[in-house]
Amino acid sequence: MTNRTLSRIALVFVCLMLLALGGWYLFLSRGNTATENLGAARGFGESVPLFGDDTGSTYANLSSAPGAGESEALGRPPQLWRVTATPVAGAGFITASSTTLLFVERSTGYVFSVSPETSAVKRLTNTLFARVYEAFVGSSGRSTMRFMSESGVLSGVIGTASSTQASANEFVHGDLPPHTKTLALSPDGSEVFYLIPDGAGAFAGVRTKEGEAPKKVLSTFISGWNAQWVKDDGVVLTERPASDIESSSYVLADDGVLTPLVRRVEGLSVRPDPESGALLFSSSADGGVSLFAQAGSGSSPVRLPLSTIADKCTWSGKAGIAFCAVPKSIAPGAFLDSWLRGVLHTEDTWWRVDARTGGVEELYTGDAGATLPDVTNPNTDATGSYISFIDGKTLSLWIFRIQK
Partner 1 sequence: MVNHDWVHRSYKSEKAPGMKRLFLIPFVAASLLVPAVCAAQFNIFTGAFSISLTLEPERPQAYEAVTLRASSLFTNLSSANVSWYVNDSLAASGEGLTTFRTVAGAPGTQTTISVRATSSLGGTLSGETKIAPSDAEIVWESTSLVPPFYKGRALAGSGSIIRAEAFVRLARENGTPIPSKDILYTWSKNGSPVSSASGRGKSTFVTEAPLLSSADVISVRGASLDGTLEAEARTIIPATDTVLLLYPEHSLFGAFFNAAIGKTFTASNTEVLISAFPYFAEAAAPDDKRISYAWNVNGAPVAEDPAEPHKLILGSSGDGVRAVVDLSLSHTTNWLEAAHGLWTIDLIPGGIPAGDPFSPFE
**Contacting range for partner 1; rule: CB under 8 A; set: 19-27, 275-283, 361-369, 390-398:** 390-398
The yes or no reply on residue 250 touching partner 1 (CB under 8 A) is yes
333-362 footprint of partner 1 as x/- string (CB under 8 A): ---xx--xxxx-x-----------------
Residue 331 · residue 311 · CB < 8 Å: no
Nearest approach in angstroms of CB 60 to partner 1 is 12
Nearest approach in angstroms of CB 88 to partner 1 is 10
d(CA 238, CA 311): 12
- 73, 96, 242, 253: which one binds partner 1 (CB under 8 A): 242
d(CA 320, CA 75): 33
Q: Count residues contacting partner 1 (CB under 8 A)?
A: 55
d(CA 156, CA 177): 7
- 45, 75, 152, 369: which one binds partner 1 (CB under 8 A): 152
- 126, 133, 363, 384: which one binds partner 1 (CB under 8 A): 133
Nearest approach in angstroms of CB 377 to partner 1 is 11
List all residues 6 or more positions away from 267 whose beta carbon is below 8 Å from its beta carbon: 241, 242, 243, 244, 245, 247, 282, 283, 284, 285, 289, 334, 335, 336
CB closer to partner 1, 73 vs 154: 154
Expressed in angstroms, the distance from the first to the final Cα of the chain is 88
* 30 membership: H or E segment, kind and range: helix 3-41
- Count of CB atoms within 10 A of residue 81's CB? 20
Which residues inside 18-47 make contact with partner 1, applying CB under 8 A?
A: 38, 41-42
List all residues 6 or more positions away from 262 whose beta carbon is below 8 Å from its beta carbon: 248, 249, 268, 270, 279, 281
- Of 20, 45, 17, 19, the C-alpha closest to 32 is 45
Tally of CA atoms within 13 A in the half-sphere of 393 that contains its CB: 9
Distance of CA 83 to the CA centre of its chain: 10
258-277 footprint of partner 1 as x/- string (CB under 8 A): xxx--xx-------------
The yes or no reply on residue 199 touching partner 1 (CB under 8 A) is no
The yes or no reply on residue 106 touching partner 1 (CB under 8 A) is yes
d(CA 124, CA 104): 10
**Contacting range for partner 1; rule: CB under 8 A; set: 1-9, 118-126, 148-156, 381-389:** 148-156
Residue 224 · residue 243 · CB < 8 Å: no
CB closer to partner 1, 7 vs 64: 64
CB closer to partner 1, 191 vs 391: 391
295-324 footprint of partner 1 as x/- string (CB under 8 A): --xx--------------------------
Angle, CA of 119, 391 and 155, to the nearest 5°:
100
d(CA 302, CA 299): 9
- 62, 204, 363, 382: which one binds partner 1 (CB under 8 A): 62
- 7, 29, 32, 64: which one binds partner 1 (CB under 8 A): 64
- 82, 102, 235, 239: which one binds partner 1 (CB under 8 A): 239
- 45, 174, 199, 201: which one binds partner 1 (CB under 8 A): 201
- Of 185, 61, 74, 104, the C-alpha closest to 395 is 104
Please report, as ranges, the residues that interact with partner 1 according to CB under 8 A. Answer: 38, 41-42, 62-64, 85-87, 106-107, 130-131, 133-134, 146, 148, 152, 154, 201, 220-224, 226, 239-242, 245-248, 250, 257-260, 263-264, 297-298, 336-337, 340-343, 345, 376, 392-395
